[in-house]
Chain A
Amino acid sequence: MASTIRVRAVAHGESTEVQSLIQHPMDSGFVKDKDGKLIPPHYIETVTFDWNGKRVFTAFWGPAVSKDPYLKFSFKGGKKGDALKINWSDNEGKSDETTATIL
């Protein structure tokens, strides 16, 4: 299957604006399924962004972050063509990683 991570990283002068969307249910643990059974919590805990071996962003999330979570931030540095590595891991130990190119 395709990556669960979509990234749009654009260099503007001295800084790079990063937007990402991750495909993940982010089940809160408070929602019931069709049969009335609680869907167990299943959510991303940590997302990291690395540029040039430097950690430029970390997100720590709980179950209150929306399904298919979105994130936007900016960091100083980064230029067109640079690689940006993104990794997420969830409370069930699943994870995914991708490397995007800064536009």
Chain B
Amino acid sequence: MSRIIIATPARLAVERRLVLQILGIGSLAAMGLAPGLVPRAQAAEQSLAWPKNAFAQKNETAALDALYEKPIVVPSDKVSLDVPEIAENGAVVPVSVSAALPNVTAIALLIPENPFTLAAYYPIPEGTEPSVSCRLKMAKTSDVVAVVEADGKHYGARKQVKVTLGGCGG
């Protein structure tokens, strides 16, 4: 069900081939957002559109496919995802992601158990650190998934956050 798979060498080879093919047309799919073909530099700098289709998806695979054009996401310890074990309140879950990878072009945050899977998508322009912190809502206990795009490849990290019923506020 999860797209974050342990890639076998064979798969990696396939992926590499795909990436090489795509590179020819300027890795426009990197953004995977705008329907038209947008040169990468411009995409990162100015005229990105809100990825409506990706935000409408209700499972991880569909959301990632809409975002990155059927990526193969490899789990990576180069992606560090900082989330609490138990959310103090599902309405405000602090999430930090950073990637120790060169040429990062985007960071996506997904919450598979939420009604809509994609929570936030951050295209990273050149010169901006591949690192972002924000606060997300979680409807119930779920993994939080970070998918980082770097050099046209996709690296993932996931961690579970427990959301319990609060209501008294301590």
A, B co-complexed: yes
Out of B123, B134, B135, B136, name the residue touching A58 (CB < 8 Å): B123
Question: Which residue of chain B has the shortest Cβ distance to A72 in the bound complex?
Answer: B133
0 or 1 for each of B95-126: is its CB under 8 Å from A? (1 = yes) = 01000000000000001001110111111010
B128 x A73 contact (CB < 8 A):
yes
* Interfacial chain A residues near B46, Cβ < 8 Å: 55
* Interfacial chain A residues near B114, Cβ < 8 Å: 64
A56 x B125 contact (CB < 8 A):
yes
Q: How many residues in A have their beta carbons less than 8 Å from beta carbons of B?
A: 29
* Interfacial chain B residues near A60, Cβ < 8 Å: 48, 50-51, 55, 120-123
Distance, CA A73 to CA B114, complexed state (A)? 25
Tell me whether chain A's interface is mostly helix, strand or loop, or mixed: strand
Instruction: Tell me if B45 is interfacial: C-beta within 8 Å of chain A.
Output: yes
Distance, CA A67 to CA B111, complexed state (A)? 17
B134 x A71 contact (CB < 8 A):
yes
Q: How many residues in B have their beta carbons less than 8 Å from beta carbons of A?
A: 34
Distance, CA A15 to CA B130, complexed state (A)? 13
Instruction: Tell me if A65 is interfacial: C-beta within 8 Å of chain B.
Output: yes
B119 x A65 contact (CB < 8 A):
yes
B136 x A70 contact (CB < 8 A):
no
Instruction: Tell me if A59 is interfacial: C-beta within 8 Å of chain B.
Output: yes
* Interfacial chain A residues near B116, Cβ < 8 Å: 62-64
Out of A46, A65, A74, A76, name the residue touching B50 (CB < 8 Å): A46
B131 x A73 contact (CB < 8 A):
yes
Instruction: Tell me if B132 is interfacial: C-beta within 8 Å of chain A.
Output: yes
B91 x A73 contact (CB < 8 A):
no
B50 x A57 contact (CB < 8 A):
no
* Interfacial chain A residues near B44, Cβ < 8 Å: 55
B128 x A75 contact (CB < 8 A):
yes
* Interfacial chain A residues near B125, Cβ < 8 Å: 54-58, 75
B50 x A45 contact (CB < 8 A):
yes
What are 15 A-B contacts defined by CB distance under 8 Å?
A: A26-B137, A57-B122, A59-B122, A62-B55, A64-B114, A65-B134, A65-B137, A66-B93, A67-B92, A71-B133, A71-B134, A74-B129, A74-B131, A75-B127, A75-B128
Which B residues lie at the A interface, using CB under 8 A? 44-46, 48, 50-51, 55, 91-93, 96, 111, 114-116, 118-123, 125, 127-129, 131-139
Question: Can you name 5 extra interface pairs (CB under 8 A) apart from A56-B127, A66-B91, A74-B128?
Answer: A59-B122, A62-B118, A73-B128, A73-B133, A75-B127
